[in-house]
Each structure stands twice: as structure tokens, then as C-alpha cells.
Amino acid sequence: RADMQKLAEENLELVGMNKRVDLKTRDIDVGFDESDIPAIFFDVPNPWQYLTQVNSSLQNGGFFGALVPTTNQVTKLLEALKQFPFGELEVVEIMMRNYKTIPARLRPSDRMVAHIKASTPLQAVNTPEDIASTVVWLLEGAPNITGELFTIDAGMGLLRGGIPARG
């Protein structure tokens, strides 16, 4: 919806991120114009219905995330993800807990808002063809590389080591 995109645009501008995000109004069901997308994030009630579009547009090693409010939706997404080559699956519950602002009795408020964020990060997994093309490049296109150990994991090893991935 155009009104929601306008609100998102205003919020991105407010936090100085508007130049780093491309916004489009388009039916996800028809897919994306772009390919090799580094990250795709959904805030829709049925993200499992669009995993084919995500899989065909996400770059190898790219991230997919979905924000869903119920465990039933997380379960449906987890079941659907089994059909696709994603790795590094996580389900995270996001909680915001306010504190009472009385200095002498600083303690959590009596109420808390919590939501579930599912499947972040999900990363595309290398296929045998990806690894084969890297080996062919080493044999044919990189004659000066000898005696090296290469990890062909689309950057996933960097994430496991705590080093943030860069686009």
C-alpha cells in the first residue's frame, strides 16, 4: 500500500537510513525485479507463501528475515523452510521491558510487550555447482595462488566467528 510505503519512507528518513533502503510497492507473489539481493525482510502474516521468490532472488550467503507475531506462524514458516537450501536458522523472541523511573526503587514495569522474530539470519547455502565454479576459477583463472586453504561457505564462517558480514 502506498500509504504504508510513505510512512516507511518517513521513518527511514527520520533515522538517516533512507539512502540505504530501496522501497517498492509491488505484489510479492510475482517476485522481485532484482536478483542477488543481499537481504530480504518480510513483515507479512504469511511469509512461507513467498519463499520461492526469496530463494530465487537472494544472493548466495544473503539474509532472510521474517517478523511474525504468533508461534503458529513461526511453525508454518519453519515447516516451509525445509523445502529450501537455507542454513543458520534462528528463531528469536524480541522483548521490550520498560523500567519504572523512580531512582530509589528502580525495577521493571509491571507490563511488557513481546513479539517473535523468526528466521534471522537465514542464509543461502552453497550448492555443489557454486563450489565447482570456485574450483574451476582456482585452476583456470588464478595461476598465482598455490598452497592456500579456502573456505567456500558464502561468508557463513565469518558470521560464526563474530565478524559482521559486509555488503
Question: How does residue 164 score in pLDDT terms, banded at 50, 70 and 90?
Answer: very low
- Mean pLDDT value of segment 39-64: 90
Question: How does residue 53 score in pLDDT terms, banded at 50, 70 and 90?
Answer: very high
CB 43 within 8 A of CB 67: yes
Taking only Cα atoms into account, the Rg of the chain, rounded to an integer number of angstroms, comes to 20
**What is the sign, positive or negative, of the torsion defined by CA atoms of 78, 46, 94, 112?**
negative
Instruction: Give the pLDDT of residue 119.
Output: 43
Which 3 state secondary structure label does DSSP give 157? helix
Give me the amino acid identity at 94: I
Instruction: Reply yes or no on whether the pLDDT at 126 is more than 70.
Output: no
Which of the 8 DSSP states describes residue 20? T
- Mean pLDDT value of segment 131-142: 69
Global model pTM greater than 0.75? no
Instruction: Reply yes or no on whether the pLDDT at 80 is more than 90.
Output: yes
Which of these, 87, 39, 41, 36, lies nearest to 63 by C-alpha position?
A: 39
How far, in whole angstroms, is CA 51 from its chain's centroid? 12
